[in-house]
Amino acid sequence: MDNLKIGSRQFRSRLIVGSGKYKSLEETASATKASGAEIITVAIRRMNIGQSNIEPNILNYIDPNRYTLLPNTAGCYDAASAVRTCLLAQELLGGHNFVKLEVIGDQKTLFPDVRETIIAAEELLKRDFEVLAYTTDDPIIAKNLEEIGCVAVMPLASPIGSGLGIQNEFTIKTIIENAQVPIIVDAGLGTASDASEAMEFGCDAVLVNSAIAKAKKPILMAEAMAAATRAGRLAYLAGRMEKKYNAEPSSPIEGTID
């Protein structure tokens, strides 16, 4: 079976979904189900998983026995706050140590601060967290995150929420070629063909939130993302034909009757 292995865990689906930006938690639940995803990210600083008795709890809509929760540190701008956020998630989720680390550099671009990301990752790894690290599409930084012990590296395709798709094919492919841990394209995918392209490059998985939540029909887009992710993976495993500059007939001419 072509399972996705991340740290100590295995999954059948290679599509990871986010939980933000939907019109309601009911829509979040419906889209997540339609996507076939087994992992859903939850922004601890923005989403209630039990820290508030007043706000709706997403765990009443997303069953943690059915889905693997991936708490993330969205909204953190330094290593210390990111580590605190992961510790809070661990406490609320009964020792859960599977987290997505993101430390943002500025509010305009939402690009990662790679220095603070590495500092936070090193501290979390000392505390036995399994860290999936969001980063730029820099092959050197991606390799550094792998070498310090992150169980997956998550380079951006383009800025968060932009829907621009993969803007630098070369760097993404270079990261994949150099990696010994799963590479999960995160941020910037806008439609199903973007997910398929990332998977055809050889990415191990894709993480999609805005492209589903902001679609005119989120449930339908969730289904499209599921199909595209699987199609891209199959195409990668199959191996595409060689590109040629000249035409070649589909049927050979040798042995034909004149």
CB 71 within 8 A of CB 89: yes
Residue ranges of the alpha helices (H) in the chain? Answer: 25-35, 79-92, 114-126, 139-148, 169-178, 192-201, 210-213, 218-238
**Which residue bears the tokens 């309601």?**
24
Residue 68 main-chain phi, psi, to 5 deg: -90, 120
Active-site residue among 5, 23, 33, 100?
100
Instruction: Look up 100 and say whether it is catalytic.
Output: yes
CB 114 within 8 A of CB 154: no
Containing H/E element for 234? Answer: helix 218-238
Residues serving a catalytic function are: 100
